[in-house]
Structure 1
Amino acid sequence: MELNFLIPRKGSKKKKLRLGRGQGSGKGGTCGRGHKGSKSRSGYSKKLGFEGGQMPIQRRIPKFGFKNPNRKKYFIINLDYLQELVNKGKISDIINQQTLLNNRLVTKKNGLIKILAGRKILKISLKITASKFSKKAIFYIQKSGGKVFYI
């Protein structure tokens, strides 16, 4: 058996119906498009979202909101959570982006970090480096004898 002798099974291949080849073919004249109207003409293509003259959904639903392309995403970390990590011995008194990455508090190397005060007051002095701090967080860090550094 050779590849050039292979043929498809009988009945598996059907010939494409050729439209507009005379009345005897069964699809002559209008070629199955009916009479008149835009769909019968050549070059017709309906618009995306066209619903047959009904008001389309993209026009029925009101516009609202917008997406700010310049939005900055901050990873928010509370001081009380940092205190917990210090108590467990997972982090030392110096906290920067690398220590937060190692403890999976931040996912991106160049991510922006914001430190918030949380509920509890710090018990030890920390040297924290971040992009932003809340006023209360700065107050509590300095009150416990720590320092604030901006990236």
Structure 2
Amino acid sequence: MELNGIKPADGAKHYKRRVGRGIGSGLGKTAGRGHKGQKSRAGGYHKVGFEGGQMPMQRRLPKRGFKSALLKFNAEVTLSALNMLDATEVNLVVLKQAGLVGELAKVVKVIKTGELTKAVKLTGIGATAAAKVAIEAAGGSLV
């Protein structure tokens, strides 16, 4: 194989459509733009969301709410999920490996949903007040 013999795969490249090059090309005269109107003119097009001068939808509707960009770094784990886990010492790495929290998660909190029957030691993980009581009742601890 030589450098001058390298070619792209079949079908990977195709010729640019040449419009406005005579009647025989099939794309002569109006060059596929139809007759008249804004879209037929050079430089004639509108921006995204433009509704012909009518007040656009994004401006007619009221502004509402707020979504924090930091939410993707927070995660929740239930007591029942902790109960199914094999580990007795649980931290952020263990939860990520088990697939209970996302890879981006930095802050994890245990919530009281379900039951916990075994003792679990949590390190670097928060818990709600009710979940904390349930963990300590099962013989576990929060560090």
TM bucket (normalised to shorter chain) is 0.5 to 0.7
For 1:2-151, what aligned pairs fall within 5 Å after superposition? Answer: 49-71=49-71, 73-83=73-83, 85=84, 91-108=86-103, 110-120=105-115, 122-149=116-143
Q: What TM-score results when the alignment is normalised by the length of structure 1?
A: 0.55
Structure 1: stretches of 5+ with no match in the other structure:
1-9, 18-32, 34-42
Per the TM alignment, residue 142 of structure 1 is displaced from its structure 2 partner at its CA by: 1.5
Tell me, yes or no, if the aligned pair for 1:114 and 1:130 is still in contact at 8 Å: no
Report the RMSD for the aligned CA atoms in angstroms: 3.7
In 2 relative to 1, CA 77–12 (structure 1 residues): closer, same or farther, beyond 3 Å?
same
Query: Residue type matched to 2:125 in 1?
Result: S
Whichever of the two has the greater Rg, that structure is 1
Aligned length in residues: 116
Name the CA distance, whole Å, in 2 between partners of 1:137 and 1:62.
39
Per the TM alignment, residue 64 of structure 1 is displaced from its structure 2 partner at its CA by: 1.8
Equivalent position of 1:36 in the other structure: none
In 2 relative to 1, CA 94–50 (structure 1 residues): closer, same or farther, beyond 3 Å?
closer
- Residues 77-106 of structure 1: per-residue CA shift (max 9 Å, x gap): 1112222x2xxxx51211112221221112
In 2 relative to 1, CA 69–77 (structure 1 residues): closer, same or farther, beyond 3 Å?
closer
Give 3-state SS (helix, strand or coil) of 1:114's partner. Answer: strand
- Residues 6-54 of structure 1: per-residue CA shift (max 9 Å, x gap): xxxx96569x98xxxxxxxxxxxxxxx9xxxxxxxxx998666443443
In 2 relative to 1, CA 132–49 (structure 1 residues): closer, same or farther, beyond 3 Å?
same
Name the CA distance, whole Å, in 1 between partners of 2:95 and 2:24.
64
Query: Residue type matched to 1:58 in 2?
Result: Q
Tell me, yes or no, if the aligned pair for 1:95 and 1:128 is still in contact at 8 Å: yes
Per the TM alignment, residue 144 of structure 1 is displaced from its structure 2 partner at its CA by: 2.2
Per the TM alignment, residue 59 of structure 1 is displaced from its structure 2 partner at its CA by: 2.5
